[in-house]
């Protein structure tokens, strides 16, 4: 096995136990990333060796991927608080500790989101100046995508929290996606300055004075346009908006399918148009968008969707690599310091 700590090498640890088809999907994803890597990244997998080693061997990866042993496994149904306190030898606990201790640069997991957030926050803590971490999602939009946060970690937010989310989101898009000057908008019920709650108005005033590229208030419709890159809101609003989108997309695709199979002519049309409709469906949940960073932590953690396939999981690993290589933590700290100097 390669020794730890080669200089200039990004070290990415994956959770061997999260997601629908672990560890197979996770290890297949590692194989895909390794196949196109030019040796600048070192990989580890965290979890029960007796489960992980046979699969690594089967894929011929036992020599290139380190196993970091962990005895416990957190299940999807475990309440986050219980997982945090009772399963201290879980793969997520062990992984987060090894990121905290500088042994690995980032962790990727497809496990229980609530538990991943609770454990990461407990072990890694937040960055200085940041009160709360946030969960984010990349939303498909006209001409690209929009980075949307918080989507559920924080139900009650102060103006200061929203300002911190704006910094975190802007730094992420710069570091991981290479967007030079991300346009940041505050989600509101109208674009005028007088609209919205006092929390929003104070946050907008602070953001206008900041060095972020703040474009002001944006509305729900704007998320899907090319008008804004980062949309900031509290976790209650973000979660409701995201789930409303999911519900509507499902209803529309069901209706389209039903209408297309309601007559012989439409059925013939559906067969011809089938690939086009499949592409639309896929574009709502692109594999390339898998890998949601948990932002604001003093360490890099990326959440893969539980149902991700190997290609999608590999995309989440790529997110972690980009965050490490672009020094997201340092950039975010620097940006927070600039905000503090400006105020």
Question: CB-wise, 81 or 340, nearer to a second copy?
Answer: 81
Question: CB-wise, 98 or 145, nearer to a second copy?
Answer: 145
Task: For residue 252, state whether it binds a second copy (rule: CB under 8 A).
Answer: yes
Binding mask 135-154 for a second copy (x = CB under 8 A): -----xxx---------x--
Task: For residue 82, state whether it binds a second copy (rule: CB under 8 A).
Answer: no
Question: CB-wise, 303 or 322, nearer to a second copy?
Answer: 303
Q: Please give the structure tokens belonging to residue 265.
A: 């002519």
Task: For residue 277, state whether it binds a second copy (rule: CB under 8 A).
Answer: yes
Is the distance from CB of 28 to CB of 342 less than 8 angstroms? no
Task: For residue 57, state whether it binds a second copy (rule: CB under 8 A).
Answer: no
Question: CB-wise, 129 or 140, nearer to a second copy?
Answer: 140
Single out the residue of 183, 172, 192, 177 nearest to residue 227, CA to CA: 183
Question: CB-wise, 228 or 319, nearer to a second copy?
Answer: 228
The Cα 318–Cα 290 span in angstroms is: 10
Question: CB-wise, 69 or 274, nearer to a second copy?
Answer: 274
DSSP category for residue 195: -
Half-sphere exposure of residue 120, counting CA atoms within 13 Å on the CB side?
Answer: 31
Task: For residue 307, state whether it binds a second copy (rule: CB under 8 A).
Answer: no
The Cα 16–Cα 81 span in angstroms is: 21
Task: Give phi and psi for 290, each to the nearest 5.
Answer: -70, 145
Q: Which residues, numbered 211-240, are part of the site for a second copy (CB under 8 A)? A: 219-225, 233, 235-237, 239-240
Single out the residue of 5, 9, 26 nearest to residue 317, CA to CA: 26
Task: For residue 266, state whether it binds a second copy (rule: CB under 8 A).
Answer: yes
Is the distance from CB of 106 to CB of 99 less than 8 angstroms? yes
Min separation Cβ 285 and a second copy, Å: 12
Question: CB-wise, 14 or 151, nearer to a second copy?
Answer: 151
CA triple 165-170-173, angle to 5 deg: 125
3 state DSSP class of 38:
coil
Strand order in the sheet with 41-47: 65-69, 41-47, 10-15, 106-109, 300-303, 292-295, 134-141, 144-149, 230-232, 183-187, 213-218
Min separation Cβ 263 and a second copy, Å: 8
Residue count, binding to a second copy (CB under 8 A):
60
Q: Give contact residues for a second copy (rule: CB under 8 A).
A: 140-142, 152, 155-156, 187-189, 195-197, 219-225, 233, 235-237, 239-252, 254-256, 259-260, 262-263, 265-266, 268-277, 279-280, 283-284
């Amino acid at each position: 096995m390669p020794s730890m700590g080669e200089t200039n090498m990004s070290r990415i640890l994956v959770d061997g136990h999260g997601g629908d088809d672990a560890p197979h999907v996770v290890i297949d994803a590692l194989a895909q990333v390794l196949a196109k890597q030019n040796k600048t990244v070192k990989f580890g997998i965290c979890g029960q060796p007796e489960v992980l080693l046979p699969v690594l061997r089967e894929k011929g990866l036992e020599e290139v991927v380190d196993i970091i042993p962990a005895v416990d496994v957190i299940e999807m149904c475990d309440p986050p608080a219980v997982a945090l306190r009772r399963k201290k030898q879980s793969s997520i606990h062990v992984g987060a500790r090894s990121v905290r201790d500088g042994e690995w640069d980032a962790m990727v997991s497809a496990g229980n989101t609530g538990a991943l957030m609770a454990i990461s926050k407990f072990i890694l803590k937040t960055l200085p100046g940041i009160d709360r971490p946030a969960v984010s999602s990349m939303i498909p939009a006209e001409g690209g995508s929009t980075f949307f946060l918080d989507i559920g970690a924080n139900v009650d937010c102060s103006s200061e929290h929203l300002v911190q989310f704006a910094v975190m989101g802007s730094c992420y898009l710069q570091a991981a996606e290479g967007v030079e000057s991300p346009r940041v908008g505050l989600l509101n019920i109208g674009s005028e300055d007088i609209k919205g709650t006092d929390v929003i108005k104070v946050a907008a005033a602070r953001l206008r004075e900041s060095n972020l590229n703040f474009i002001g208030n944006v509305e729900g419709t704007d998320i899907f346009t090319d008008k804004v890159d980062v949309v900031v809101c509290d976790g209650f609003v973000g979660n409701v908006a995201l789930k409303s989108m999911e519900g509507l997309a499902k209803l529309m695709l069901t209706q389209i399918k039903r209408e297309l199979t309601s007559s012989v002519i439409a059925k013939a049309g559906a067969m011809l148009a089938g690939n086009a409709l499949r592409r639309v469906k896929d574009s709502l949940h692109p594999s390339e968008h898998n890998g949601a960073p948990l932002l604001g932590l003093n360490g890099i953690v990326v959440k893969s969707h539980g149902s991700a396939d190997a290609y999608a999981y590999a995309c989440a690993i790529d997110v972690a690599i980009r965050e490490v290589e672009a020094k997201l933590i340092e950039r975010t700290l620097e940006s927070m310091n600039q905000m503090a100097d400006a105020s």
